[in-house]
Amino acid sequence: MEYTIFILLLPLLTFISLGLLGTKLKPCTAGLIGTISLGLVAILSYFTAFQYFTTQKIDGVYQALMPFNTTWLNVGANLHIDLGILLDPISVMMLVVISTVSLMVHLYSMGYMKGEVGFQRYYAFLSLFSFSMLGLVLATNIFQMYIFWELVGVSSYLLIGFYYTKPSAVAAAKKAFIVTRFADLFFLIGILVLSYYTQTFDFGILNSGNESVFGNAIGSTFMGTSVLTWAMAFIFIGGAGKSAMFPLHIWLPDAMEGPTPVSALIHAATMVVAGVYLVARFFPVYVEFTPEVLHGIAYVGAFTSLFAAVIALVQTDIKRVLAFSTISQIGFMMVALGVSGYEGHYGLGYMSSMFHLFTHAMFKALLFLGAGSIIHAVHSNEMKDMGGLRKYMPITRWTFLIACLAIAGIPPFSGFVSKDEILTATYHFSTGMGIWMTVTAGLTAFYMFRLYYNIFWGKEHKHAHTPHESPLSMTFPLMFLGLLTVVGGFIPFGKLVTADRADYTIHLDMMIATISVVVAVIAILFATYLYRKPSDVPTQMANKVRRLYLAAYHRFYIDEVYLFITKRIIFNGISRPIAWFDRHVVDGTMNGMASVTDWTSIKIRRFQSGSVQWYAYVFLLGVLTITLLAVFL
């Protein structure tokens, strides 16, 4: 399956050519080149997936495959950094997800970004992103993954800051980059510690389950905990940064400043699940050697998902609602991984997490693209400027509804199946966790339908011009993703992607399924009651819990806490004294030396009068002095 290398090379070449020649091409040509290249990548990915899942199952277990691997750098005697392609169930599944969503976003952008300045640059960046994201999932070793991980961060930065004349977009881009970079610092430390003790970067060796690999790492302790635990926890912090887990989630809502298709691609479907993918990639290590870290991941995920869901309840910017919903759903995936075991029946969490990643990518991309279509029509992100759009935008409305039903967990849409498996896994872990996640799922259903009713029903806003349905280039991706959202739940995922790579039979736990559906339906009905017709019941309810409402509206002041810590404590407490020291002590020494030299020079400059006769006179005096000394001493 050597052709998989083209999955990486095609977007890279597209990026280089569009980046270099972009301005010489017509915008639509550049868009077509990008889209066609991504189309080829998608075809290759589907073919790879088909071939992999049909031929690589040996004795009921999927075999990992490395069609391409080369040593890139030798570090020390045993340690070497490779570049290559690793095919195994999760990477192949991610290939399909990334190429599908990316292709849809490429198509969609042809309509959405039409007439924008820098259209070619936009497509170049999209190709760069696709390249780095594909490289990330195909990495054979942790260091290669780290390289692409950073590339993904860079392309995310470039795309968030696409409207670089807008100060808020620039600030958001910087925020996203700095926050994720801060998390990546821990990731890098984790990688270095892990590779130092195990003498390998390779996923194959690390995930082999062989305890001798980790002998040193488990044996050495740091502050009472084994080094392996530290390393794996640090690696998770890197993943938490990219996946916007609390408290590193602050960059994701701001990242919505980028163009909406970018939000769909990067900040909903692909890049933000990189953290989940990372944990899944190291899952054998987590589950076997550091279960305490895995449980920590579960708690972080559970807290984040409820926290983000509460914030999503009261936001008024539709993209922000979707952003917090994304954070919440990623929390679901993290929880599922965190509560999962490894073999057979215990691997339910892992399977459901990957399944949810897959279905979430489809319906969340659909939601974002739908939101883009709405923003395209009304030129605003705010709910109050919408309302009653169902008459004008039928395709957007129906596809949006499908996605809302899917994320709310209504059968038979894809989200129901995957979310139900996650809930089952959490109930197996502990009842408390199960109830916590069920509540979160109910909140999800509520805020999604609040969004839906506020956009398409409710009080009709007076529009300057009548909103209209978007062009086909934008509605086709909506319909395609809508179709995937409807049928996605029927994919026999248990036969494709599981923790131990063997078959897993999905069977619905009727009781849990009933509970979750009932909760979701109640939440939806409640949202219908509140928001379908214009009423002041929501305002009254908000006034009753005014404090909580305001806190949630201001996202629980987490941004302010960050600002307080950075500006007051770090800037004032640490940076300023250091700057003072630098300016006055370090620079002062240098400046002092300079001024002493300067002063001395001014004083002795008379000696260099340029008058040769004066020199000769001094010379003569010198000679006489030396002579007299020589004679009389």
Partner 1 sequence: MGDILVNTVQIPVPMIAYLIVSLIMLFAGVYGFLTRKNLIMILIAVELILNAVDINFAVFNRYLFPAQTEGLFFAFFTIAIAACETAVAIAIIINVYRRFGNAEVDNIHNMKE
Residue 58 parent element (H or E)? strand 57-58
Residue 43 in contact with partner 1, rule: CB under 8 A: no
Among positions 612, 629, 630, 633, the unique one binding partner 1 when judged by CB under 8 A: 612
Asked if residues 241 and 248 have their Cβ atoms less than 8 Å apart, the reply is yes
Which amino acid, 94?
A: M
Q: Which range, of 14-22, 298-306, 557-565, 607-615, touches partner 1 by CB under 8 A?
A: 607-615
Stretch that binds partner 1, among 244-252, 313-321, 557-565, 603-611 (CB under 8 A): 603-611
628 contributes a contact to partner 1 by CB under 8 A: no
Q: Considering the rule CB under 8 A, would residue 557 count as an interface residue with partner 1?
A: no
Least separation in angstroms between residue 626's CB and partner 1 is 16
What is the phi/psi pair of residue 620, to 5°? -60, -45
Residue 74 is given by DSSP the state: E
Rule CB under 8 A: is residue 611 a binding residue for partner 1? yes
Please check whether residue 166 is in contact with residue 245, taking contact to mean a CB–CB distance below 8 angstroms: no
Residue 198 to residue 221: CA distance in whole angstroms? 14
Decide: is 609 part of the binding site for partner 1 (CB under 8 A): yes
Residue 141, helix vs strand vs coil: strand
The span from the CA of 461 to the CA of 255, in Å, is: 27
Under the binding rule (CB under 8 A), the answer on residue 616 touching partner 1 is: yes
The 8-37 site mask, x for binding partner 1 (CB under 8 A), equals ------------------------------
Residues 330-369 touching partner 1, rule: CB under 8 A, are none
Burial of 385 (0-12, 13-18, 19+ CB in 10 A): middle
**Piece in contact with partner 1 (CB under 8 A), picked from 73-81, 149-157, 531-539, 616-624:** 616-624
Q: Tell me how far apart the alpha carbons of residues 103 and 497 are, in angstroms, rounded to a whole number.
A: 23
Q: Which of 9, 617, 627, 628 binds partner 1 (CB under 8 A)?
A: 617
Q: Name the residue nearer to partner 1 (CB basis): 540 or 613.
A: 613
Q: Please, which residue, 75 or 624, has the CB nearer to partner 1?
A: 624
> Cβ(152)–Cβ(132) under 8 Å?
yes
Angle at 231 between CA 226 and CA 233, to 5 degrees: 95
3-state helix, strand, coil in the chain (%, to 5): 75, 5, 20
Is residue 627 close enough to count as binding partner 1 by CB under 8 A? no
CB-CB contact of 294 with 337 (8 Å):
yes
Judged by CB under 8 A, which of 115, 613, 632, 633 binds partner 1? 613
Cβ-based neighbour number of residue 611 at 10 Å: 9
Region binding partner 1 by CB under 8 A among candidate stretches 110-118, 132-140, 247-255, 614-622: 614-622
Point out which span in 25-33, 108-116, 529-537, 606-614 binds partner 1 (CB under 8 A): 606-614
Nearest residue (CB) to partner 1, 612 versus 631: 612
Q: How far is the CB of 613 from partner 1 (least distance, A)?
A: 6
Which residues, in sequence order, are bridge partners of residue 75? 79
* C-alpha to C-alpha distance for 358 and 333, rounded to whole angstroms: 10
Interacting residues toward partner 1 by CB under 8 A? 609-613, 616-617, 620
